[in-house]
Structure 1
C-alpha cells in the first residue's frame, strides 16, 4: 500500500531548485529561507560563546573559498568536481558549515568523516573518495596525519578547523589563517551551472555504516540536501506556529559529519532562522551548562543521551532546563518506556522522533509538535511517499526528492538498493516498520528494527530495540544491547549485554541477571524471553550517531563460542 503525508501537511510550494549549490540555496531568500534580517546568528560556540552573524558567516565562506582556490589551484568553473574533493575530519565547530560551503563554492565535493574513526578507517574514506586535502582539528590531528600520509595528502594541504583555548598554535594553517589569505585574493568568478546540474552533481560523500564490511560512500547531490531542508522545515512549520514559535535556539551537538546533524541541524535549523549552539562532543556537564546559559529551546539528540539523562537525575536537578520545549531524537529508535521515563522528570517537555537514512539525506518521517504519539516516528514529510502493508510489519520502501544518487563505484550495491514496480522506483530502506493510525487519526510510522538484526525465534520475529527499551526501565540497567545467538531447539534466541549503574555495586552478577531475566518474563511473550542469558560489560559499543553496533557484539559472542568449542 502506498502512503502519503497527512492532509494537514502542506505540499512543497515548488520543486526544489536543481541548478544551485547548497550554499547558494542557504543564503538566498528567493527560495523561502527565513529573511536574513530576521534570523538569529546561525552558529554560536557553546563553550566560548564565539559567534558570527549570518552576513559574517557567509563572508567567511567566500574568503575560505578564495583561499582554497589559491592554495589548491582550483577555479569554480574549471575541472571536474571529482578532482576537487576535500575531507573534513573534525569535531563540530562554528566554521564547519562555512568550510563545506566554501568547497561547494569551487564546485567541489566535501566528504565529512566520522571523528571516531581510526587512522585506517579514515584512510579508507580519503582514498576511496579521492580527497586532495583535509580539514581536521587538534584533538584528532595525529590520526588525521597518519591517514593523510598513507593516501599522499601533503602536510601543506592539511588545515586546522579550530584551536582550543590556551592551546599552542599548530604548525598547520588554520581556518583563521585561510580567512586572512582570502582577504588578499581576487574575487572568484560566479559559478556557471547549467539547468539540472545541482540534481546530478555530488555535494557530499557521506559514508553509510552498513551492517558489514567497510562503509560505503553515498553520493548526495546538492538538490537532495536542498529538498530535505525544505521538506523538514515545511513539515515543522505547522507545529511551531501553533505553539507560537518564530525562531528558536537549538542544540548543535550531533556530529555534523553524520547526515542527521548535517541536514536536520546544520542546514534546516539555520535556513529557518534559528541559532545553533555548537558543542564538539557530548559531555554531560557541558551539555547541561549550554542549555542553561543559552536558554536552548530545542534539543535534537540520540537515544543514548536520553538514557544518560535518565541515569543522571541528581545532576540534572542542578541545572535550569526550563527553556526546553522539545526534545527530538533520531538515528535509532526511542522506546516508549524510555520516553515516558523522561516525561516523568520533565512533564512539560514534548518528545518527538524522526526517521531517515544517509541514503534519504535524512528525514523521511517526523513527529509534529501537535501530533505526538510516543514510540512512533511520526508522519511522512511533504514530497515523500512510502510503501508497506497497512497494519503489518514489513520493509519500508521510500520515494522522495531527497533519495540519493547511489553508492560511489559500487553498481551492485546501488542496484540492490532500489526496486521497481507499477508505482515506480522505490528505495529499499532495510528497516522493518509498521504503519498505524495515531489517536489524532493521522498515519504514523513505527520503526521495528533493522531487517538483518531481527531475531527469529521459532519463526517469531523479535526486535532487539523493543527488548532494549524494556530493559532500560529496570533500575539495574544503565545501558544495554540485545543480539541473537544460535539455539539448537529454537533456531535463535535473544541475549542481552548489560551495563549496570553504580548502585549495583556489591550485588552478584547472578542475582542481577536473574532479576533482569524475570523483568522480561513478567512483561513479554515467552518467545521474547532472554533465553540466551545476560552478560555484563563496561560499555555498549555505539556509533557517534547513537546506533548500537550490534555486529561488534555478535563478533564478540561468536569468538567466545568458538573458544568454548561450540558447534553453532
Structure 2
C-alpha cells in the first residue's frame, strides 16, 4: 500500500509537470524553456545609421511643420529651422569648443523648445549627450560631471551659479553654454547658445571629420537612483534606433502619419533629461515629423489649459499626471476632447486609478500602459491598441524576449511571480566604468530588470513592484504598489506611498505616507481601518504619516529611500 501511494504521488507529480511542459510547448507565447516570445514579427533590419541621421532622414517631407514650441511663450522652431540651427551649433562645438568624437556634453535644461536643437547638435558634432536634472544641487551636479567626464555644460542662465559652484567642488573648469529663453543677458564667463546656433559664417566642413557608427555611444543618462547612487547607462545609436523601430509596430504605435493635412501634437511635459521622454517623445516623434509642445515645469492649471490650447492628441504620462487628470477641478470631457491616445509609463498604476481618469474622459480613447527602463532605451512592453485591461503593460516589443525567473534564475511559468529578464537590441551596452554593477545586472546575455512581474498565457506582462521594494512580512511578500492603490481609493487621499519598516516579530511591516485634501478631516485610525478591511491580515497597515507631498523622481517614481531616511 505504501509503495502504491508513493507511485501515485510520483505519477501525479509527473502528470502535473507534463501538463506544464505540454502547455509551454503548445502555446505560441511560451517556449519549452520558459522564454516568452513577442507576438510580432522581428524587425527585418535595423538601420545602419547614427541616431542623428535617423531623426532627420525624412526632413524633406515636413520642413515647414512645427518641430517644437513652448506651451507658455509660444516660441518655437520649424523642422527646417531646427535642422539648420543645430547644424551650425554642431560645427561651432567642434571649431570653437574643440569637441571630438566620443566626448560627453552635459545638458542641464528643463523642457524648452531649444532642447531638441541642443541634442541634435551634440550628436552631429560626434558627441555623447549626458543629461542632468535642472533642479539638482551643486553636489549632485559635480558628481555627474566627474562620472560622465563631460567636456562642456549647457544650461539656462539662472542655473549657471549652480554649475559654477559644482565646478568649485569638483575642482574643474569647463565651458558653459547658456540657452536664453526669455531675452536674458548672457552670464559672465558663458557663451550664448544662439550665438553658436545662429552663426551663418561658421565653417561646417569640420563636420565631415565626424566618424560615428551605429554601435557607438550617443546617450549617457543616469539611472534615477531610487535605491542607490545613479549609474551611467551607456546607450548606443543602435539601442535607441532599435527601440524607435520597435515602437513603429502597427499594433502598438502611438502616432499617426504626418501628412500635408495632419500633424500629431504631443505634450512634452515628461522631462527630456529622462530616457522616457528623450527617446519616446523627442527622438522617436521627431523622426515622425510630430509637433512637440514643450512645458518647462508642471503647473497643473497651465497643463490642463495646454491640452486644449494646442489640441494635444497624444499624451505620454507617469502616474502623478494620471492622478492629476483624474482629480483636477478643470478635468472634463471638454478639456480632454482632443485626446486620442494616453500611455502611462515610468511606474505602474492600478486599474482603479485608470478608471477614475477614464470616467473624466467620458468616451472611448486608447488608454494603456507601457513598460521599460533607462537600461532598455527604454521600452520593453506596450499594451496594444485593442487592449482594455489597464493592469497589464502588454506583450514584448518586436525582436524582444522575456523570462520570469525565481531567486535562483530558474524559469517560471504563466501567472507565477518572479523577476523579469529581458533580451533585445534595445538593451544597453552596460554601466559606465562599473564592472561590478554589470556583473550583477547581466545573467549570461539576459538583462535583469529588478522588477517583480508575472505573465499570462498570451505573454501579457503585469508589473508588480521593484524586488528591493517588496516588504517581507513573516515570509510573505507585500508589494507597496498594491497598498498604494488601495490608499488612493480613499476619497480624502490625493497621493500615497508605502515602505517596509523593521518589526520585532514580523521582520518588516508596511508603513504608509499619505497626502490628503486640504478640507478633509481624517485620522490615522480611519485610514488604517479603510485599508485593513480590503487586504489580507499580513498586508495590513497600522502606521500612517501625513505629508504635504510624496517625494518622487522627475519621471514619477516614488523615492522610497527618502521616505526611509
The one of 353, 366, 378 aligned to 2:382? 366
Preserved CA contact (<8 Å) 2:227 2:560: no
Equivalent residue number for residue 562 of structure 1: none
Kindly report which structure 2 residues correspond to 1:107-506, keeping only aligned pairs within 5 A, or say none: 107-151=126-170, 154=173, 157-164=175-182, 167-171=184-188, 172-181=190-199, 183-190=201-208, 193=211, 197-199=213-215, 201-234=216-249, 247-312=263-328, 314-317=329-332, 320-348=335-363, 349-388=365-404, 389=412, 390-420=414-444, 425-437=445-457, 442-504=458-520
Larger radius of gyration: 2
Structure 1 residue 153: deviation in Å? 5.1
Preserved CA contact (<8 Å) 1:40 1:275: yes
Structure 1 residue 161: deviation in Å? 2.1
Preserved CA contact (<8 Å) 2:254 2:341: no
1:12 paired to 2:43:
yes
Q: In 1, distance between residues paired with 2:67 and 2:401?
A: 31
Equivalent residue number for residue 553 of structure 2: 543
Equivalent residue number for residue 409 of structure 2: none
Residues 280-316 of structure 1: CA deviation (Å, up to 9, x unaligned): 111112211211111000111110122223332x233
Q: TM-score, normalising length from structure 2? A: 0.87
The one of 47, 54, 74 aligned to 1:49? 74
Uncovered stretches (5+) of structure 1, i.e. residues with no partner: 556-568
Structure 1 residue 515: deviation in Å? 1.9
1:89 paired to 2:99:
no
Equivalent residue number for residue 2 of structure 1: 35
Preserved CA contact (<8 Å) 2:383 2:394: yes
Residues 104-147 of structure 1: CA deviation (Å, up to 9, x unaligned): 22222111111221110110000111111100013433222211
Q: In 2, distance between residues paired with 1:111 and 1:293?
A: 32
Over 3 Å counting, the alpha-carbon distance change for 1:249 and 1:185 in structure 2 is same
What secondary structure does 2:460 align onto?
strand
Over 3 Å counting, the alpha-carbon distance change for 1:206 and 1:193 in structure 2 is same
Preserved CA contact (<8 Å) 2:267 2:312: yes
Q: In 2, distance between residues paired with 1:235 and 1:406?
A: 30
What secondary structure does 1:206 align onto?
coil
Equivalent residue number for residue 24 of structure 2: none
Q: In 2, distance between residues paired with 1:410 and 1:306?
A: 36
Over 3 Å counting, the alpha-carbon distance change for 1:128 and 1:318 in structure 2 is same
Q: TM-score, normalising length from structure 1? A: 0.86
Structure 1 residue 342: deviation in Å? 0.8
Equivalent residue number for residue 537 of structure 2: 526
Preserved CA contact (<8 Å) 1:89 1:144: no
Over 3 Å counting, the alpha-carbon distance change for 1:114 and 1:224 in structure 2 is same
Structure 1 residue 26: deviation in Å? 1.0
Structure 1 residue 332: deviation in Å? 0.8
Structure 1 residue 213: deviation in Å? 3.6
Over 3 Å counting, the alpha-carbon distance change for 1:181 and 1:404 in structure 2 is same
Q: In 2, distance between residues paired with 1:145 and 1:37?
A: 40
Mean Cα displacement is larger for which, 468-477 or 50-59?
A: 50-59
The CA RMSD measured in Å over matched residues stands at: 2.3
Over 3 Å counting, the alpha-carbon distance change for 1:443 and 1:39 in structure 2 is farther
Structure 1 residue 68: deviation in Å? 1.2
Q: In 1, distance between residues paired with 2:332 and 2:256?
A: 30
Q: In 2, distance between residues paired with 1:434 and 1:221?
A: 29
Over 3 Å counting, the alpha-carbon distance change for 1:239 and 1:414 in structure 2 is closer
The one of 14, 28, 39 aligned to 2:57? 28
Structure 1 residue 317: deviation in Å? 4.4
Residues 452-475 of structure 1: CA deviation (Å, up to 9, x unaligned): 000111211111011111111111
Structure 1 residue 373: deviation in Å? 1.4
Q: In 1, distance between residues paired with 2:431 and 2:351?
A: 34
Q: In 2, distance between residues paired with 1:318 and 1:116?
A: 34
Q: In 2, distance between residues paired with 1:229 and 1:56?
A: 23
What secondary structure does 2:512 align onto?
strand
Preserved CA contact (<8 Å) 1:10 1:235: no
Preserved CA contact (<8 Å) 2:368 2:383: yes
Structure 1 residue 414: deviation in Å? 0.8
Structure 1 residue 208: deviation in Å? 0.8
Q: In 1, distance between residues paired with 2:253 and 2:88?
A: 37
